Amino acid sequence: MELNETGLVFDAKGQTLYWHRPLDRSNRCLPDSRELWDVLWENRKQLGGVAHTHPWVGAALPSQTDLSTWRAIEKGLGRLLLWPVVTFSEVRCYGWNPWAKEYEDVTKHVDLTFDVGMLRKLSGQFSEVEKLVLIAQDGGDIGNALLKSMTIPQGPLQDGTVCTKCGKDALEMVQHLVGMPGAIVCTSCGHKEGYYAHIGRNIVTVTPLRSSDPDTE
């Protein structure tokens, strides 16, 4: 799944005003955008701030570009905003300290919430189960990209599950199509139980998902 920096403009209560997902964004930057400026200007009276992702696991620290952009936008709007930085493992909020004349971490003083979960998802973070659901639903470019990072084993299913149609312990994992999730097929009656992909040492059926499947997280 592609990782991309994503922006979220929110109001003073943390409610989403605008998702910033320009076509020319990358996993390392959100380019300058007149469209984003227009959104900020039009909503300037109700603005709370702008969050953006650094789509990796690690400390949520601003870049020099972030700092200079924050300052420029605040000079343009004539007011101060909240500037959250969101990684896949951390959220930190920054605000301008007019006495120190620098941005500082104000996370512990922030009492509003914004849509961190969706922001991370739009940046490319999905749980292993969500990835598998995407594979089953898509089967195209997204599915293929995700499958490249997964192992598709073959052979008898050895978790004790029996065929839901004939009841026999004859389920087998079969490579259905190259680049697609494997299928779980009964070698006795031919019934197809569903699709699966390998997650670490666990095996999960994707479609349909079964309650007896081992925990994937």
Which position among 1, 17, 29, 134 is part of the footprint of other proteins (CB under 8 A)?
29
- The pairing of strands 83-86 and 91-97 is antiparallel
Subset of residues 46 to 75 that bind other proteins, contact rule: CB under 8 A? 52, 54, 63-66, 68-69, 71-73, 75
The residues, any chain, with a CB within 8 Å of residue 73's CB and separated by 6 or more, are 37, 40, 50, 81
Smallest gap from residue 24 Cβ to other proteins (A): 11
Q: In whole angstroms, what is the distance from residue 167 CA to residue 94 CA? A: 59
How many positions of this chain bind other proteins (CB under 8 A)?
30
Q: Which residue has the tokens 């300037």?
A: 44
Q: In whole angstroms, what is the distance from residue 29 CA to residue 8 CA? A: 14
Assess 34 for contact with other proteins (CB under 8 A): yes
Output 34 or 108, the one with its CB closest to other proteins.
34
Assess 19 for contact with other proteins (CB under 8 A): no
CB atoms within 10 A of CB 146: 20
Written as one letter, the residue type at 193 is E
Which position among 8, 14, 30, 157 is part of the footprint of other proteins (CB under 8 A)?
30
Subset of residues 75 to 94 that bind other proteins, contact rule: CB under 8 A? 75-79
Output 78 or 140, the one with its CB closest to other proteins.
78
- Cα angle: 31, vertex 32, 38; to 5 degrees: 130
The residues, any chain, with a CB within 8 Å of residue 136's CB and separated by 6 or more, are 143, 181, 195, 206, 207
Output 78 or 160, the one with its CB closest to other proteins.
78
Candidates 32-40, 118-126, 136-144, 205-213; binding stretch for other proteins (CB under 8 A):
32-40
Candidates 31-39, 138-146, 160-168, 192-200; binding stretch for other proteins (CB under 8 A):
31-39
Smallest gap from residue 59 Cβ to other proteins (A): 15
Query: Is 147 buried (19+), middle (13-18) or exposed (0-12) by CB count in 10 A?
Result: buried
Smallest gap from residue 71 Cβ to other proteins (A): 7
> For residues 182 and 167, is the Cβ–Cβ distance under 8 A?
no
Assess 3 for contact with other proteins (CB under 8 A): no
Question: What would the two tokens of residue 23 be?
Answer: 């076509």
Which position among 44, 121, 198, 210 is part of the footprint of other proteins (CB under 8 A)?
44
Question: Which residues are near other proteins by CB under 8 A?
Answer: 5, 7, 28-34, 36-37, 40-41, 44, 52, 54, 63-66, 68-69, 71-73, 75-79
